[in-house]
């Protein structure tokens, strides 16, 4: 090889090395070492954003939010070590999986309403969420809806938004609510109603709870079985809806915050739990986001009726948890039978 | 280390390839590298430049608001914790003159009562008790008298708590008009996103690059440099202004990267095509350009193989034409030289043959003359015959220059010699001549047979009374064969071996020169497997055999 060619090759190699070094210097590989927290949540975005923003500015901890349905959220926590906190999901839905969560007793517990103080350490109650019927006042027409019984009307056939209870925890709450309310306190006697109700769904079973409240707000459905806060958010967004508390009785189960046992940022997760159960956060949530606080010292928003005015039903939490699977199976069996007919 | 020497054509071809392909490849690669280098440098440079410009502009704007808030605070304190509406408005208009929008300046009491607002409305989250330690109010309290920024409900607030010691006297909150930031980032060709320190977007000139919550995607929010995110390439630059605001400028360079990739692909394709074409064409052109060399090589090979009749006719270039002409001249010279040498060699052989055939044994002459003297005394007739024979023999030997004579001629002249022998030895010597009639006209060297006789007489009489010599001549295929047999005493074995050895070695010797002469003459005159051999047995006789080519006078 002649000397000249060698010089040219050397020049090329030199330039390539220079280029690579330049690229390397300019390629951003610095994994930003920020204090963070990964939260999976079935809560609506509008609900999540202000609370997370406030938490971030207060603590400097950056929150990554993963949004999905309750069942998927639970599975995510179980399968993904990177997720630190499950925020949302009712006690009834998450309770059976409590082995996957980390026991933590927030100092704020002392200010909780009696019944929320005593739950297991793996579960921190966050808010109380009554099940409600949401009605689109524009499309409902003359049909009067005051409770579950009214949902069986012919005019509502195929007009009821209801999510698959095995996928949406709010739908499961409603199933439990129906069984207790229509069974007169005995859930085993409520299945006759469930059968009639399923029949009136006319084969429409939605995929997630957000499909329910959005469906009603958009006018796709006349009524929907959802939870108070979702209906409240729609109301706040100037949607033409009204919130109906079932005359037969309302089951309200608290939802919670759960720290994953696999979390590597337990300290941040604890700060998050403390923040969300603090008076400021609970007060903001109650007044602006339509959730009922678990604290004694926070009143409900004046946009919703006081808890005392609601016909409330107590459920046997442990019974519900143990029967969950069989009830879901029964529901799907009835629903499937209706489809076959 | 042995290195195979390539042909001249291969070398020429390699040179073609080396000096055409290698520089082209080098230049192409160099150009690409320099292009990529400068392209990415300028991408980064202009991005940074824009980022810097936007950051500085934002910092400048925010500084103006900071000063304005400070002025308002001074006014508030001067008036003993009271608001002078006119003065505050004056400050507000003066400071915001360049933006054409005064924005909403709000002065609150610690109990969240509104003392002043420039826009006649105050958001609920500033007045409601629910928010006394939430959002903007928490920011005021956390920053104890420091001016600070907070992004709340998509509005950028500049806040300052007016403190007297640890006691909060009032709060100044200024909502930065959204258009101000929009103006700062509009008209930019790249994506510009302004976020708070947690990545929540305040202003952006794109709806892309953010998540469902209105926060910048974390992968874009990691500092300055080139990034590959989901099959797309970006250059992003992030500036933290120190006023709670981050400016992130992002170039989507995916398309450019594609273009570069396509460019590289096309260039590579072209280069490969050029390489293939060059490789093929150099094969032809190198053959063409080295055609003359091939001609020269062929000519030299032909000469080496003995063909002197080649000639080099080259007129493609001056140099090769000279070489060709010189080669032809040289070859002609060589041919002449060879011709001359051949002639010289023939002349030498001829003169040697002449010299050889003129050599008579002096003994023979002496003996014959001695016999003649003796005969003259007792038999004058015999003496006379001997003299006639001797003179005939001498005449024959010196007559004309011809080297070859017919068999007949040689036989008739050998008779002189036989006569002499007959008279000399009388009844002791007998001979037989048996030469086939059909070979009489063929040519043989002059005086071929005489030395054979002489040799037979020389050895044959040793210790015995009589000697018979038989001479036979016949043709065998394309050869003439003469055999001379005698029944004499034969030659001693040692002597015979020496003679045979000398004959086979073509050596000269003073003795027996008769036989050697014949052998030497035959070898000089006729190329091929011709010559003389001798066999002998003690007391039984000697046989000399001569083989010659059969040929007639042309």
Task: Supply the pLDDT for residue B532.
Answer: 86
Contact: A12, B29; criterion CB under 8 Å: yes
Same domain? B372 vs B493:
yes
Tens digits of per-residue pLDDT, B354-382?
Answer: 666 656 667 778 888 888 888 888 888 88
Same domain? B303 vs B378:
no
Mapped onto helix, strand or coil, the DSSP state of residue B517 is: helix
Contact: A28, B18; criterion CB under 8 Å: no
Domains of chain A: 36-128+254-305 (3.40.190.10), 130-251+314-340 (3.40.190.10)
Comparing alpha-carbon positions, the chain A residue that sits nearest to B24 is: A8
**Alpha helices per DSSP H over B431-492:** 450-460
Instruction: For residue B472, tell me if it sits in a domain.
Output: yes
Query: Which of B289, B323, B342 marks a domain boundary?
Result: B289
Same domain? B436 vs B308:
no
**Banded model confidence at residue A113, pLDDT cuts 50, 70, 90:** confident
How far separated are the first and last CA of chain A, in Å rounded? 87
- For residues B260 and B347, what is the distance between their CA atoms, to the nearest angstrom? 88
Same domain? B322 vs B216:
no
Contact: B223, A48; criterion CB under 8 Å: no
Instruction: For residue B171, tell me if it sits in a domain.
Output: no
Buried b or exposed e, range B424-447, using 16+ CB within 10 angstroms: beeeebebeeebeeebeebbbbbb
Dihedral Cα B359, B363, B365, B367, nearest 10 deg: -160
Work out how many CB contacts closer than 8 A connect A with B: 91
If one counts every other C-beta atom within 10 angstroms of the C-beta of residue B272, the result is 10
Same domain? B201 vs B320:
no
Given B37, B135, B225, which is nearest A54 (Cβ)? B135
Domain that holds residue B520: 358-549
3-state secondary structure A308-328: HHCCEECCCHHHHHHHHHHHH
Buried b or exposed e, range A219-256, using 16+ CB within 10 angstroms: ebbbbbbbbbbbbbbbbeeebebebbbbebbbbbbbbb
Where does residue B17 rank: exposed (0-12), middle (13-18), buried (19+ CB within 10 A)? middle
In DSSP terms, A253 is beta-bridged to: A129
Identify the residue among A280, A289, A293 best suited for mutation to test binding to B, counting B beta carbons within 10 A and taking the highest. Answer: A280
Given A18, A53, A287, which is nearest B200 (Cβ)? A53
Task: Supply the pLDDT for residue A160.
Answer: 94
Strand intervals (E) in chain A: 36-41, 62-67, 85-90, 101-102, 124-136, 160-161, 223-227, 241-244, 250-260, 292-293, 312-313
Total structural domains within chain B:
3
If one counts every other C-beta atom within 10 angstroms of the C-beta of residue B76, the result is 22
If one counts every other C-beta atom within 10 angstroms of the C-beta of residue B71, the result is 18
Distances in Å between the Cα of B187 and the Cα atoms of B99, B216, B236, B248, B454 are 17, 20, 18, 15, 135
Tens digits of per-residue pLDDT, A84-94?
Answer: 999 988 888 88
Residue B234 near residue B253 (C-beta atoms within 8 A): yes
Closest CA to B252 of B227, B231, B235: B235
Given B130, B150, B225, which is nearest A26 (Cβ)? B225
Contact: B26, A8; criterion CB under 8 Å: yes
**Alpha helices per DSSP H over A160-299:** 169-182, 191-201, 209-217, 228-236, 266-276, 279-288
Strand intervals (E) in B143-231: 148-152, 155-164, 167-175, 191-196, 201-204, 225-229
Task: Supply the pLDDT for residue B158.
Answer: 93
Same domain? B243 vs B368:
no
Instruction: For residue B450, tell me if it sits in a domain.
Output: yes
Interface predicted TM-score (ipTM) over 0.85: no
Tens digits of per-residue pLDDT, A127-174?
Answer: 988 899 999 999 988 889 999 999 999 889 999 999 999 888 889 989
Instruction: For residue B62, tell me if it sits in a domain.
Output: yes
Contact: B128, A28; criterion CB under 8 Å: no
Dihedral Cα B488, B494, B500, B503, nearest 10 deg: -110
Instruction: For residue B206, tell me if it sits in a domain.
Output: yes
Q: What is the largest CA-CA distance in chain B?
A: 195
How would you write the pLDDT of chain B (554 residues) with one tens digit per residue? 455 677 788 888 888 777 777 778 888 888 888 888 888 888 889 999 989 989 998 999 999 999 999 999 999 988 888 888 889 999 999 998 888 888 899 999 999 999 999 988 888 888 888 888 888 998 998 888 899 999 888 889 999 999 988 888 899 999 998 888 888 887 778 889 999 888 888 888 888 888 888 888 877 777 788 888 878 888 888 888 888 888 888 888 888 888 888 988 998 898 888 888 888 888 888 888 788 888 888 888 888 888 878 888 887 788 888 888 888 888 889 888 888 888 888 777 777 666 666 566 677 788 888 888 888 888 888 888 889 988 888 888 777 667 788 898 888 888 888 888 888 888 888 888 899 988 988 988 888 888 888 888 877 887 778 888 999 999 988 889 999 998 888 888 888 888 888 777 765 554 556 777 788 778 878 877 888 888 888 888 889 999 999 888 76
Same domain? B207 vs B268:
yes
Mapped onto helix, strand or coil, the DSSP state of residue A209 is: helix
CATH code (residue B462): 3.30.565.10
Pairing of strands B531-537, B232-240: unpaired
Contact: A15, B37; criterion CB under 8 Å: yes
Same domain? B436 vs B474:
yes
Task: Supply the pLDDT for residue A32.
Answer: 54
The pair of structure tokens assigned to B502 is: 């000398």
Mapped onto helix, strand or coil, the DSSP state of residue B93 is: helix
What's the mean pLDDT when you consider all of chain A? Answer: 87
Task: Supply the pLDDT for residue B359.
Answer: 60
Provide, as residue numbers in chain B, all residues whose Cβ is less than 8 Å from the Cβ of A45: 212-213
- For residues A299 and A250, what is the distance between their CA atoms, to the nearest angstrom? 19
Mapped onto helix, strand or coil, the DSSP state of residue B540 is: coil
- For residues A187 and A318, what is the distance between their CA atoms, to the nearest angstrom? 13
Instruction: For residue B167, tell me if it sits in a domain.
Output: no
Given A28, A45, A52, which is nearest B227 (Cβ)? A28
- For residues B25 and B354, what is the distance between their CA atoms, to the nearest angstrom? 80
Same domain? B318 vs B399:
no
Query: Which of B304, B332, B353 marks a domain boundary?
Result: B353
Instruction: For residue B156, tell me if it sits in a domain.
Output: no
Query: Which of B310, B329, B353 marks a domain boundary?
Result: B353
Task: Supply the pLDDT for residue B4.
Answer: 66
Same domain? B27 vs B98:
yes
Same domain? B236 vs B302:
no
Q: Is the dihedral of CA A89, A90, A91, A93 positive or negative?
A: negative
Mapped onto helix, strand or coil, the DSSP state of residue B103 is: coil
Complete DSSP assignment for B4-58: PPPPHHHHHHHHHHHHHHHHHHHHHHHHHHHHHHHHHHHHHHHHHHHHHHHHHHH
How far separated are the first and last CA of chain B, in Å rounded? 63
- For residues B273 and B284, what is the distance between their CA atoms, to the nearest angstrom? 17
Same domain? B342 vs B411:
no
Instruction: For residue B320, tell me if it sits in a domain.
Output: yes
Task: Supply the pLDDT for residue B489.
Answer: 82
Q: B13 CB contacts (<8 Å, ≥6 apart)?
A: B282, B283, B286
Residue A41 has pLDDT above 80, yes or no: yes
Task: Supply the pLDDT for residue B1.
Answer: 45
């Amino acid at each position: 090889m002649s000397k000249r060619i060698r010089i040219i090759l050397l020049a090329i190699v030199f330039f390539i090395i220079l280029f690579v070094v330049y690229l390397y210097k300019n390629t951003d590989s610095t994994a930003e070492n920020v204090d963070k927290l990964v939260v999976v949540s079935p809560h609506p975005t509008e609900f999540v954003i202000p609370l997370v923003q406030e938490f971030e500015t207060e603590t400097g901890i950056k929150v990554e939010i993963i949004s999905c349905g309750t069942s998927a959220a639970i599975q995510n926590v179980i399968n993904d070590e990177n997720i630190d906190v499950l925020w949302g999901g009712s006690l009834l839905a998450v309770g059976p999986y409590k082995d996957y969560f980390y026991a933590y007793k927030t100092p704020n517990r002392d200010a909780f309403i009696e019944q929320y103080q005593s739950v297991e350490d793996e579960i921190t109650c966050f808010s109380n969420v009554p099940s409600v019927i949401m009605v689109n006042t524009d499309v409902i027409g003359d049909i009067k809806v005051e409770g579950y019984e009214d949902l069986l009307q012919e005019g509502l056939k195929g007009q009821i938004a209801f999510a698959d209870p095995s996928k949406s925890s709010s739908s499961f709450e409603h199933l439990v609510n129906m069984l207790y309310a229509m069974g007169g306190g005995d859930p085993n006697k409520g299945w006759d109603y469930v059968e009639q109700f399923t029949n009136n769904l006319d084969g429409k079973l939605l995929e997630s709870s957000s499909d329910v409240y959005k469906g009603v707000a958009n006018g796709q459905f006349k009524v929907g079985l959802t939870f108070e806060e979702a209906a409240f958010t729609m109301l706040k967004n100037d949607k033409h809806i009204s919130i109906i508390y079932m005359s037969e009785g309302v089951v309200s189960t608290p939802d919670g915050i759960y720290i994953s046992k696999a979390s590597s940022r337990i300290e941040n997760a604890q700060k998050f739990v403390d923040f969300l159960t603090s008076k400021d956060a609970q007060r903001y949530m109650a007044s602006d986001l339509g959730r009922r606080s678990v604290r004694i010292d926070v009143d409900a928003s004046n946009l919703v009726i006081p808890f005392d005015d609601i016909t409330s039903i107590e459920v046997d939490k442990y019974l519900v948890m143990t029967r969950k699977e069989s009830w879901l199976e029964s529901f799907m069996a009835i629903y499937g039978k209706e489809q076959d007919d | 280390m042995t290195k195979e020497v390539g042909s001249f054509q291969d070398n020429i071809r390699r040179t073609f390839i080396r000096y055409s392909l290698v520089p082209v490849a080098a230049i192409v690669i160099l150009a690409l590298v320099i292009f990529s280098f400068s392209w990415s440098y300028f991408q980064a440079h202009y991005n940074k430049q824009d980022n810097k410009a936007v950051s500085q502009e934002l910092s400048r704007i925010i500084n103006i608001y900071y000063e304005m808030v400070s002025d308002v605070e001074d006014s508030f304190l001067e008036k003993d914790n009271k608001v002078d509406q006119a003065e505050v408005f004056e400050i507000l208009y003066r400071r915001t003159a360049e933006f054409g929008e005064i924005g909403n300046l709000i002065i609150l009491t610690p109990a969240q009562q509104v003392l002043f607002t420039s826009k006649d409305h105050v958001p609920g989250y500033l007045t409601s008790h629910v928010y006394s330690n939430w959002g903007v109010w928490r920011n005021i309290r956390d920053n104890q008298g420091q001016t600070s920024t907070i992004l709340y409900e998509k509005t950028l607030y500049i806040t300052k708590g007016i403190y007297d010691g640890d006691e909060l006297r009032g709060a100044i909150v200024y909502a930065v008009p959204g258009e101000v930031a929009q103006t700062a980032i509009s008209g930019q060709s790249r994506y510009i996103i302004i976020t708070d320190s947690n990545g929540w977007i305040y202003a952006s000139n794109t709806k892309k690059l953010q998540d469902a919550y209105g926060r910048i995607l974390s992968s874009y929010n990691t500092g300055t440099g080139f990034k590959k995110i989901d099959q797309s390439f970006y250059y992003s630059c992030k500036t933290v202004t120190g006023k709670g605001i981050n400016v992130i400028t992002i170039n989507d360079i995916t398309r450019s990267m594609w273009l570069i990739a396509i460019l590289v692909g096309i260039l590579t394709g072209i280069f490969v095509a050029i390489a293939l074409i060059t490789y093929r064409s150099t094969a032809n052109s190198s053959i063409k350009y080295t055609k003359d060399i091939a001609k020269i090589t062929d000519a030299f090979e032909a000469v080496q193989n003995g063909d002197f009749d080649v000639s080099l006719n080259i007129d493609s270039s001056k140099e090769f034409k000279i070489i060709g002409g010189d080669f032809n001249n040289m070859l002609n010279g060589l041919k002449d030289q060879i011709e001359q040498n051949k002639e010289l060699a023939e002349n030498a052989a001829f003169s040697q043959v002449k010299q050889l055939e003129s050599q008579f044994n002096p003994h023979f002459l002496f003996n014959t003359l001695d016999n003649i003297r003796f005969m003259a005394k007792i038999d004058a007739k015999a003496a006379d015959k001997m003299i006639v024979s001797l003179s005939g023999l001498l005449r024959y030997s010196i007559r004309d220059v011809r080297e070859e004579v017919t068999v007949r001629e040689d036989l008739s002249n050998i008779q002189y010699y036989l006569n002499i022998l007959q008279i000399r030895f009388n009844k002791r010597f007998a001979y037989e001549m048996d030469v086939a009639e059909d070979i009489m006209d063929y040519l043989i060297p002059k005086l071929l047979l005489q030395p054979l006789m002489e040799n037979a007489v020389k050895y044959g009489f040793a210790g015995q009374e009589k000697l018979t010599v038989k001479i036979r001549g016949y043709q065998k295929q394309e050869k003439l064969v003469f055999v001379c047999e005698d029944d004499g005493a034969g030659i001693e074995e040692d002597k015979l071996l020496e003679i045979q050895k000398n004959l086979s070695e073509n050596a000269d010797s003073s003795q027996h020169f008769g036989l050697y002469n014949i052998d030497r003459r035959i070898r000089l005159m006729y190329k091929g497997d011709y010559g003389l051999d001798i066999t002998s047995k003690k007391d039984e006789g000697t046989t000399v055999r001569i083989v010659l080519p059969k040929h007639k006078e042309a």
